[in-house]
Amino acid sequence: EKGWFCENRECRFVLWKDNAFFKRLGKRLDAHVADKLLRDGRVRLKDCKSAKGKTYNATVLLSCEADGRSKFSLEFEGGC
């Protein structure tokens, strides 16, 4: 299985396991993270890696584009 898909064939929603957004954070989208995103629309991640190699904690937020595709954004501690 390469990811999690909407059961409606006309829907374009998908969460790929091999996800570029999570790769940039030094993370992999696994079943636990996918479940949390689908249930709560957010998941807290520890020890994400920045482009400069530093680690940080952040919350990944899941939203949907108008065409149904998934979209991710980050929320940092302290509201930054």
Instruction: Band the pLDDT of 78: cuts 50, 70, 90.
Output: low
- Count of the separate structural domains present in the chain: 1
More confident residue, 66 or 27: 27
Residue 66: predicted pLDDT:
84
- Domain of residue 29: give its range: 3-79
Mapping DSSP to helix (H, G, I), strand (E, B) and coil, where does residue 53 land? coil
Distance CA 64, CA 16 (A): 14
Give me the amino acid identity at 41.
Answer: G
Residue 6: predicted pLDDT:
84
Q: Which residues contact 9 (CB under 8 A, 6 or more apart)?
A: none
Mapping DSSP to helix (H, G, I), strand (E, B) and coil, where does residue 67 land? coil
For 12-42, b where at least 16 C-beta lie within 10 A, e where not — what string?
Answer: ebebeeebeebeebebebeeebbebbeeeee
